[in-house]
Amino acid sequence: MKHRRLADSSRMCGRYALYGPKSRYRAAFNAELMDDINDTKIPFRFPLPADVAFWDIRPTTVQPVVLEDGGKRLLAMFRWGLIPFWAKELKGANTPFNARLDTAADKPSFKQAFRQRRCVVPVDAFYEWYAIPGQKAKQRYIIKPPDDASWGLAGLWDVWNGPEGPIPSFTIITTEPNELMATIHDRMPVILKAQNYAAWLDRELIEADQVRALCEPYPTELMQAEPFTPP
């Protein structure tokens, strides 16, 4: 696929897909179900459904993330769109679904989470829209692994204690595009290499430069992009 990029930064990364079932992600990320853990210190509110298959996941929905607590890797359901713990109320609050890798360590909404509340966001594909030169229409592309595996995106999480109880939430980190994504958009989600999951989830790793170093550019040969028409 070769064409000139015409970016629409406001939409990155705002859609992705999960093929399910939840056993797929338990195996891929070696995680236990948070529903089954009684001694976790992380408050949560949303049970993990038997089927987590969705082809068009959008911000503000509740989706599975992988995090670590007490030496255990957990699969839990969090709201997509990070609500900082210090937010006074949810209504009208800024709940970003993306955080830029280059600024997340310094921004008030993300800096504490960047140091100690990182998660891995399971995805089987994500979407991006290519703005066709000279036309108002945009072509949706699906970007996915060539081997039908699951990716783990770099994420941050937080818990907001609202009037009806705690609401756990997350955001997805974005970075500069690799060669493939640069033909579609000027940003891409950080796709973690599997060997970096443990370090990314390590809550004792707090140095910003060391955290950023885990977000290596993802190889273009391990990605494929093709036009996608919603069913």
Q: How many CA atoms lie within 13 A of 58 on its CB side?
A: 1
How does strand 191-192 pair with strand 151-162?
A: antiparallel
What separation in angstroms does the CA of 173 have from each of 30, 43, 46, 57, 207? Answer: 22, 23, 23, 16, 17
Within 10 angstroms of residue 146's Cβ, the number of other Cβ atoms is: 9
Contacts of 176 (CB under 8 A, 6+ apart): 186, 187, 188, 217
Catalytic residues: 13, 128
Q: Do 178 and 163 meet the contact criterion of CB atoms below 8 Å apart?
A: no
Among all chains, which residue has been given the structure tokens 């600024």?
A: 103
